[in-house]
Amino acid sequence: MPSHASAAVGLGRLTSRLSTRGLRTAAASENTRSPRSTSGSPHRGCHWVVAHRVPFTSLGTSLRGDVSSLGVGATGDDVAQQRGIRASCAGRIVAHLGAALHTAAMASSSRADRRVARSTARPGELIYSSGSGRWVVAATVLGSGMASIDATVVGIALPTIGRRFHAGLSELQWVTNAYTLTLAGLLLLGGALGDRYGRRRVFEIGTAWFAVASILCGVAPNAPMLIAARALQGIGAALLTPGSLAILQASFTRDDRSRAIGAWSGLGGVATAVGPFLGGWFIGAVSWRLIFFINVPVAIAVLVVSSRHVPETKDPTASGRLDWFGAALVSVGLAGVVYGLTEGADLGWTSPVTLTGLFAGTALLIAFGVVQLRRAAPMLPLSIFRSRQFSGANAVTFVVYGGLGGALFLVPIELQQVLGFSPLQAGTALLPVTIIMLALSARSGALAARIGPRLQMSVGPLLVGAGLALLARIGAGGGYASEVLPAMTVLGFGLAVTVAPLTAAVLAAAPSQHSGVASAVNNNVARAAGLIAVAVLPSLAGITGDSYLHPGQFSAGFHDAVLVAAGACVVGSLVAVMTIRNPAHVPEQPSRQPEWQCALDAPLIGGAPSSSVSGGVPHRDGSEGRDDAI
């Protein structure tokens, strides 16, 4: 600690002792006072000085005025009383001065400590309070927010897109699933690319890719072109999404890392809340194409800030070949399964096309597992699934996020086609879910840290299911306050209770060296569940072809669909009861930056944000930094 800081602390300790001594003097003098006192007694001035915190520049004048009036024409008893008053007033003022000087000294020491922290930061590391640090947080928030908001806003635009392109329900399903498919299939590879070639470089490439794909979406002349452009968007999102958190983890000092990630999570949650509202206004007031074009200026801002302020980091220990073959197997395998499930309702479940997609996709996913078992350094180490807790938590994730994803695909259509909501009103209708999650997620995580995740993971899915079941009350002529708001409120509470403990259980169940890939696996499980649910839930409820254009027919199917989704959440609760266990001893969690998130599409990627197998994000010197905030 610098010499002036040491002096400040020493002065603070001295004045603290003075303040204690002053209070003792005041107390003793109070006990020796005569009980007689008049309204004009001079010691009132002392009380006024201390109670009203007179500035130090005027304190001396007040003291002189008060004390100089004592003893004028006094009797013997009065003199004794006045001496006690002098001691009392002096003791109180010494106490006040001591406390104030102690506070000032500690503030000086705190500023000195911050200067020491800056001076001891390793070369290239950032301080959160610095200008560059704030710019880095801004760039990562805008980049990751652009990718996450796009998925939600497109859901609100689906009825408008369907009418403009005269598209059937299967084409609307692909508008949603094409994006999620490439994002889920390439997310692990995107993290590994950042580790190998530089996180800022891959983040910038993903941002530019996403912007170009957004332009293609905005100018798409028909549904097939829009679907293809959405698949390209998903590739860009797979490159920039893991990089945003990895940049924060690797760029900031250890002491400021949790603050940076907390700001990233909080601002990302705010963006998630505002996105549907803003997107709904764009769709209704201008055009659905604007929800894609708006990504372009945001991406340009991200690229400019990144090039100027974001430091380049990579993993110097990364070696071996990237698993391009594994990424291709899982992506194409998922595509085959989703294609078979989507087209089966229209072409028939025994159609050669449907059966080919289902069997070929399943075979490719099995082949992916075999390849991962035989690789020395697999992209997905299957050994982590030997943990009953880890496998159980991912099973809960699959059924709960499957039900949630399938229902939320249909909700905007129900609100607009049946209740007659505008796109803006439909976007606003989902806000309670986001607001409740932002308010309660941190508290839910803290509770799970104290009591373990089992209770919340068992009760939370039941609340989510209850919220989805309440959506079955929505019908023609219904109102928002009576039918929509209760369902969204219960759904928001259920997600707030479930998501944070679920993520914590996944990370705690995996070995520390696999915490990063474990979190990425959980995120991908949720996205894959949403893919499958969007493909199969409408057909199970009898919603096919252009039935979404007929309010009565669609609403009947919607009621069945949300009840099926609610049933999936009940299954998730039962799985949690059977598989999730609390630790034998739940340690007291250290104070940390709160987690803020709105995980409507997938849990937050936590642990080591890199998608590599390592348990932390290596810094420039090759040492690993653990993520203390997520």
Side-chain-facing half-sphere of 462: CA atoms under 13 Å: 10
The larger pLDDT score, comparing residue 396 to residue 70, is at: 396
The string of pLDDT tens digits covering residues 331-345 is: 899 889 988 888 887
Q: Using 50, 70 and 90 to split pLDDT, how confident is the model at 621?
A: very low
Instruction: Provide the β-strand partners of residue 617.
Output: 625
The larger pLDDT score, comparing residue 618 to residue 432, is at: 432
Nearest to 513 by CA among 614, 608, 611: 614
| Region of poorest pLDDT, from 61-70, 107-116, 186-195, 220-229 | 61-70
Read off the DSSP letter of residue 443: H
Q: Using 50, 70 and 90 to split pLDDT, how confident is the model at 563?
A: very high
Q: How far apart are CA 224 and CA 504, in angstroms?
A: 40
* Sequence-ordered alpha helix ranges (H) in 252-323: 254-285, 290-293, 295-309
pLDDT at residue 316 above 90?
A: no
| Region of poorest pLDDT, from 128-142, 243-257, 429-443 | 243-257
| Region of poorest pLDDT, from 70-79, 186-195, 269-278, 363-372 | 70-79
Nearest to 252 by CA among 144, 141, 134, 113: 134
Chain mean pLDDT for the chain: 76
Q: Which of 4-18, 72-86, 153-167, 185-199: highest mean pLDDT?
A: 153-167
Check residue 295 and give its pLDDT.
92
The string of pLDDT tens digits covering residues 403-418 is: 999 999 999 999 999 9
Report whether 334 contacts 185 (CB < 8 A): yes
Check residue 92 and give its pLDDT.
52
Please list, residue by residue across 319-337, b when 16 or more beta carbons sit within 10 angstroms of its beta carbon and e when fewer do. eeeebeebbebbbbbbbbb
Residue 624's H or E segment, with its range, is strand 624-625
Q: Which residues contact 341 (CB under 8 A, 6 or more apart)?
A: 358, 532, 535, 536, 539
Distance of CA 364 to the CA centre of its chain: 33
Check residue 119 and give its pLDDT.
45
* DSSP strands (E only) in 168-229: none
What is the value of pTM for the model shown? 0.72
- Judged by DSSP in three states, 214 sits in helix
Long-range contacts of the stretch 62-71 (C-beta < 8 A, 24+): 63/89, 63/93, 66/42, 69/42, 70/42
Check residue 152 and give its pLDDT.
79
pLDDT at residue 63 above 50?
A: no
Quick one: average pLDDT of 340-356?
A: 86
Two tokens, residue 349: 């479940």
Report whether 592 contacts 618 (CB < 8 A): no
Check residue 45 and give its pLDDT.
41
Report whether 154 contacts 575 (CB < 8 A): no
Check residue 23 and give its pLDDT.
44
| Region of poorest pLDDT, from 40-54, 299-313, 387-401, 477-491 | 40-54
Nearest to 202 by CA among 260, 247, 150: 247
Question: CA torsion sign, 216 to 219 to 223 to 224?
Answer: negative
Instruction: Provide the β-strand partners of residue 625.
Output: 617
pLDDT at residue 269 above 90?
A: no
Alpha-carbon distance values, 270 to 141, 273, 489 (Å): 10, 5, 18
Two tokens, residue 608: 């080591």
Instruction: Provide the β-strand partners of residue 494.
Output: none
Report whether 461 contacts 514 (CB < 8 A): no
Percentage of the chain surpassing pLDDT 90? 30
AA identity, residue 182: T
Please list, residue by residue across 525-543, b when 16 or more beta carbons sit within 10 angstroms of its beta carbon and e when fewer do. bbbbbbbbbbbbbbbebeb
Burial grade of 435 (CB within 10 A; 0-12, 13-18, 19 or more): middle
The string of pLDDT tens digits covering residues 539-549 is: 888 888 888 88
pLDDT at residue 33 above 60?
A: no
Please count the helices (runs of H) and the strands (runs of E) in the chain.
Answer: 20, 2
Quick one: average pLDDT of 160-189?
A: 90
Q: Using 50, 70 and 90 to split pLDDT, how confident is the model at 99?
A: low
Report whether 329 contacts 156 (CB < 8 A): no
Check residue 567 and give its pLDDT.
95
Read off the DSSP letter of residue 100: H
AA identity, residue 260: A
Check residue 601 and give its pLDDT.
59
Report whether 468 contacts 569 (CB < 8 A): yes
pLDDT at residue 139 above 80?
A: yes
The string of pLDDT tens digits covering residues 212-231 is: 999 999 999 999 999 999 99
Report whether 385 contacts 526 (CB < 8 A): no
pLDDT at residue 48 above 50?
A: no
Instruction: Provide the β-strand partners of residue 618.
Output: 624
Compute φ and ψ for 212, nearest 5 degrees. -65, -45
The larger pLDDT score, comparing residue 80 to residue 566, is at: 566
pLDDT at residue 56 above 70?
A: no
Check residue 250 and give its pLDDT.
75
pLDDT at residue 61 above 50?
A: no
Two tokens, residue 523: 């995120």
Nearest to 124 by CA among 310, 363, 290, 296: 310
Q: How far apart are CA 121 and CA 201, in angstroms?
A: 24
Read off the DSSP letter of residue 616: S
Q: Which residue has the tokens 């990237």?
A: 322
Check residue 267 and give its pLDDT.
75
pLDDT at residue 609 above 60?
A: no
Compute φ and ψ for 624, nearest 5 degrees. -95, 140
Q: Which residues contact 213 (CB under 8 A, 6 or more apart)?
A: 229, 230, 232, 233, 235, 236
